[in-house]
Structure 1
Amino acid sequence: MSDISEPADATASGPSGGLQSLDSALFLLAVLAECPGPAALSDLARRAGMPVSKVHRYLASFAQAGLVRQTAKSGKYDLGPQALKLGLAAMARQDFVNQTADRLPDLVAETGLTALLCVWGSHGPTVVRWERSANYIVTALGLGSTLHLLNSATGRVFLAFAPSSVIAEVLARDGTAWPGDVAALRDQTRADGYASVAGDLIPGLAAVGAPVLDWQGEAQAAVTLIGTDPAIAAPGAPAIAALTRFCAAQSVQRAG
């Protein structure tokens, strides 16, 4: 079932000042976008809850603007080239770092743990934001620090969710091949949706990391929670649930 709300059917100005006829037209376009493929006129009218004649008028206008195209063979309607351009422009302007960084204080407040935001740099996973909790942690890590690909929770997140070609380059540079245990670690992290360590990188510190994914399902950033209690990295820990929810909310949802 669609989660799009149908606007009121009117042509007068709505409460927000916009024309409700425009709201209805955009609603129809959203309905078309939710269809799994090209849709017939009658099907679109049914899905939108609009008269066929009204839907036809809107589609004709959209077609002139390049937002909709009609297939010659079946006569069904699909998104047009201008709709594709709009979608690509929106994806290109996704600001994963700033968007996620702005919300890090909320995650820290919820978990009581220090949070790191990392992106893939020229030497691997690199810390670009450090949001400290009230429970101060003394560590040599800081902004600009590069984390180990295999021994850190953050590194394991990128190992699992960054493009394989990028990971292979770093492993080769470090003299590490793709042995079975590395592949198994990657596959397990992918299956879990997060990675955790307890003292593997820094004795006395536990960490759990999860990816912020783009529309292709690749990690554009990783968020990691660190603390002194190894229980935060245990399966089923509340910190893991909070982190994965947070990262899912920042990730781009893929169609299908």
Structure 2
Amino acid sequence: MDNTEVKGQGIQSVELGLGILKRISAERRPLTVTEISTICGIPKSKLHKYLTSFTRSGFLKKSRDLKYSLGTELILLGLKASEQLNVQDSTLPYLIKLREDINETVALAIWGENGPFFLRWEESNRAVNLGIKAGSQVSVTESAPGRVFTVYLPKERTQHLFEKEMKDKNTEDREQLISELDLIEIKGFSVTTGTVLPGITAISCPVFDLNGEIAAALTVVTMAEVIDYSEGSECIMKIKKTALEMSQALGYKS
């Protein structure tokens, strides 16, 4: 849809009806006609026609106690729309723009059965061959994206891989890593240097989906000590901003 279509004359009754559906959805509970009238600022006499049409079409359902909630047809539409929010396609423009802005290799990692792997790998114009590419699997505990997933995914999805990698580590190493994971949750990003490849620093930020769950890890890979990755630095702010834009492209509401 282009700007002309967006700015052109629309159908006011349709826009009003969609606004009613959005308000009902936002409440996250069944509502009476009186409650809907109040939150929408629409008289009951006018509101009744919309509720009747939405109920007939399956966009709303009416319970025996005369309360309205989202109907099956509307939920199915939402599911179909969410299926189109493909992580790779939706985030690629932001990935490319970040690479151009900072001239560093950028990548997008997702979680697989055996841990995180890179779905997309975009090299900078001064990239060094790291032997990593799209499809490469990385460590859960030693890579920046792995640590991000460990923090933001449900524990039951990561714990078995976490324990497998940590089984030969001593208590001090385990406690140090747990402290670093706690910091990631506070700061919103992970940094590793030399843990996967000597002399290489990786920075990862979480990318969330429309349900507020982690969908991917935006990762910047660079030579150690080339960029300032301290909290609040320009580079970190750009990475976090890009991760938020990616999340919003996937339907995330901050």
Q: Measure, in 1, the Cα distance between the counterparts of 2:195 and 2:228.
A: 14
Question: What's the offset of the Cα at 1:157?
Answer: 1.1
Q: Residue in 2 aligned with 1:9? A: none
> Secondary structure of the equivalent of 1:233?
coil
> Secondary structure of the equivalent of 2:110?
strand
Question: What's the offset of the Cα at 1:163?
Answer: 3.1
Q: Residue in 2 aligned with 1:165? A: 156
**TM-score, normalised relative to structure 1:** 0.80
Please say if 1:51 is aligned against 2:43: yes
* 1:145-171 residue CA offsets vs partner (Å, 9 max, x unmatched): 222222221111121123322312323
Q: Residue in 1 aligned with 2:114? A: 123
Q: Residue in 1 aligned with 2:82? A: 91
Q: Residue in 1 aligned with 2:233? A: 237
Q: Is the 1:211–1:247 contact (alpha carbons within 8 Å) kept by the matching residues of 2?
A: yes
Q: Measure, in 2, the Cα distance between the counterparts of 1:234 and 1:255.
A: 27
Q: Residue in 1 aligned with 2:136? A: 145
Question: What's the offset of the Cα at 1:255?
Answer: 7.1
Q: Is the 1:207–1:232 contact (alpha carbons within 8 Å) kept by the matching residues of 2?
A: no
Return the letter of the residue paired with 2:152: F
Q: Is the 2:141–2:165 contact (alpha carbons within 8 Å) kept by the matching residues of 1?
A: no
Q: Measure, in 2, the Cα distance between the counterparts of 1:127 and 1:15.
A: 40
Return the letter of the residue paired with 2:187: D
Alignment coverage as a number of residue pairs: 242
> Secondary structure of the equivalent of 1:186?
helix
Q: Measure, in 1, the Cα distance between the counterparts of 2:180 and 2:212.
A: 18
Cα distance change on mapping 1:224 and 1:142 into 2, 3 Å: same
* 1:75-117 residue CA offsets vs partner (Å, 9 max, x unmatched): 3332223222333333343211221123211111223322011
Q: Residue in 2 aligned with 1:20? A: 12
Q: Which has the higher contact order (CA 8 A, sep 6+)?
A: 2
> Secondary structure of the equivalent of 2:228?
helix
Return the letter of the residue paired with 2:46: K
Question: What's the offset of the Cα at 1:18?
Answer: 5.2
Aligned equivalent of 1:248, options 228, 244, 250: 244
> Secondary structure of the equivalent of 2:218?
strand
Return the letter of the residue paired with 2:246: Q
Cα distance change on mapping 1:70 and 1:237 into 2, 3 Å: same
Query: Runs (4+) of structure 1 moved beyond 6 Å?
Result: none
Unaligned regions of 5+ residues in structure 2, if any? 1-5
Structure having the larger proportion of residues in helix: 2
Structural mapping, 1:57-76, within 5 Å: 57-73=49-65, 75-76=66-67
**TM-score, normalised relative to structure 2:** 0.81
> Percent of aligned pairs with the same residue?
26
Cα distance change on mapping 1:122 and 1:110 into 2, 3 Å: same
Unaligned regions of 5+ residues in structure 1, if any? 1-13
